[in-house]
Chain A
Amino acid sequence: MRTSLHPALTITASLIFAILVAPLFIILGAAVSDTSYLTFPPQGFTLRWFTNIFEISAFRTTAITSLQIAMLGTALALLIGIPAAYALNRFRIRLPSWLANVFVLPILVPEIVLGFSLLKSVTISLGLPVFLVLLLGHALLVLPYAVRVVGASLASFDFSIEEAAISLGCPPLKTFFTVVLPNISAGVIAAFILAFITSMNDVSVSLFLTGPGISTLPIQILAHMEQFFDPTIASVSVLLMVLTVGVMAIVEATLGLTFLTK
């Protein structure tokens, strides 16, 4: 309504936003360039770098691993994170106050330190399977989303509703699923999306936890880039951006994008 914005501010901000988006279009241009090296603006037009992705089996297998890890890791994090978030809010008086801080640790400890420590102490010392450690590492990485984002929903949940359901004869567990869960669904969806995308994009934890035959897509991209400097990576990046667009569409449809500014 009242725009007392100095034009210089508006112009600077517009430039910032343009620069935020521009590199992603540059990737798109580079992906269709008919050259064997990365260049922008594109020279010629080809889709062969897209078909090339499917000829390199490592991209396919690591993409599948990434999706599996992201789905299972997020599911596991929600499975154990939601009860923890519930307990921390519902039984605030009966649980020690430091307990909530335990679930902040995965954010506080640098990811790369976490990855390295898991390799040293779990993969090597305990000899656990690579896939399992990778999965658990990712579940740990995204656990804070489950606990904190769902916890934020629970913080504004009126627990007297739950008591009302129980007083009407609904058993506690059923009450949780029929009364509590539907009221915190936005938090659960938000936690799922943030956790999934974090897991899909993770480099620093996966870096140390991938092993022979098992790798994630971002790690495979890094490895490919060390050997080749062709537009294949650009086309993989385009596919990943399509995934991002899909995720954003889901966010917009379920929560509205503005929830990300809160």
Chain B
Amino acid sequence: MVKRLTPWILVVPASLLVLLLLILPVGATLLATFADAKGWAAPYLAFFNSGFRRTVLWRTVEVSLITTVISVVLGFIAAYVVAQMPGRLKSIMIIAAVFPLLTGVVVRSFAWLILLGKNGIINSALLALGVIAEPISMLYTEGAVIAAMVYLFVPLMILTLSGVLEGIPKDVLEAASSLGAAPFAVFRQVILPLAMPGLIVGAVLVFTGSFTSYATPQLLGGERQMMMGTLLYQRAMVTFDWTGASTVAAIMVVVTIAIVLVMTRLARRLNPLAA
């Protein structure tokens, strides 16, 4: 009897933690948006009727999409080079990617605060070169948020993709060139399709990470460039509009889960090894 239950006994503590502290609380948050006194869809109508909140949602989507595209492109180039490098140079490059990755989001966003600030290196350089007469304000713009976000996610992309690229057998690439494929054709017809599932997984991580981020938009976007994460915090902790905050949370959850489900399904369909 005990033996039959062993598997269950082992999974119960961890399952309970997830159930009690994630499924129930988050479920309660989502349910709260449908239990409004003004009708079940009222919080969503309120959200989408507010021009400001629509702008925030649209800005978040835009920033996340741009961040994803730039991170994928830069990450792919860097990973492609990493995968081809000999041992020593490769470790140096991997260290250069891992170090920022393990350094917290606050520190990394803060670095861009210094870079883009009034006394930052970019302003100093432009002043010294005489391009500008006085410091320009780069902080609290969409560009600042995107720059910091790309910086945040490129290391993740590099590590994900260099693993994927190294997994492509070398003789498959040699077979392609022996059959007459020029380097770009090898890239376009062999490497890219084989890396596509990994690319999609990486892109999903970047998009959902950007879409739900808090610290970076808070530090580099501030009130002026409010995004979904900062809006959620502001609704909950500044205006104490719990229903409003829950609505933002619900939209985040739905968008995140929808994207993960759709894209992982797509990645699986594109996976050549799943016969």
Contact = CB atoms under 8 A, between A and B. Distances in A.
B105 A140 contact: no
Contacts of B124: 39-41
A116 B249 contact: yes
Nearest to B121: A40
A4 B183 contact: yes
Nearest to B252: A110
A114 B18 CA distance: 11
Interface string B12-24: 0111011101111
Contacts of B96: 17, 20-21
Interface stretch (B34-42, B46-54, B253-261, B267-275): B253-261
Interface in B70-124: 74, 77-78, 80-82, 84, 86, 91, 93-108, 110-115, 117, 119-121, 124
A128 B182 CA distance: 65
A41 B217 CA distance: 25
B214 to A, nearest CB: 5
Contacts of A109: 22, 26, 253, 256
A96 to B, nearest CB: 10
A197 B252 CA distance: 25
Interface in A75-129: 79-81, 83-84, 86-88, 90-91, 94-95, 99, 102-103, 105-106, 108-114, 116-122
Interface residues of B, number: 86
Contacts of A94: 7
B25 A120 contact: yes
Interface in A6-51: 6, 9-10, 12-13, 16-17, 19-21, 23-24, 26-27, 30, 35, 37-41
Chain B interface helix/strand/loop/mixed = helix
Contacts of B154: 16, 20
Given A23-B111, A38-B119, A248-B102, 16 more contacts: A17-B96, A20-B97, A20-B100, A24-B103, A39-B124, A41-B124, A95-B7, A110-B249, A113-B212, A140-B21, A143-B14, A201-B105, A201-B106, A204-B212, A221-B106, A222-B215
30 contacts: A10-B81, A12-B77, A13-B81, A16-B154, A23-B115, A38-B114, A39-B119, A41-B124, A84-B10, A87-B6, A95-B11, A102-B18, A108-B260, A109-B26, A110-B252, A111-B212, A112-B229, A112-B252, A113-B29, A114-B26, A116-B249, A117-B25, A118-B21, A140-B18, A143-B18, A200-B104, A218-B104, A218-B106, A222-B215, A244-B103
Interface of A: 1, 3-6, 9-10, 12-13, 16-17, 19-21, 23-24, 26-27, 30, 35, 37-41, 79-81, 83-84, 86-88, 90-91, 94-95, 99, 102-103, 105-106, 108-114, 116-122, 136-137, 139-140, 143, 146-147, 197, 200-201, 203-204, 207-208, 218, 221-222, 225, 233-234, 237, 240-241, 244-245, 247-248, 251, 257-258, 260-262
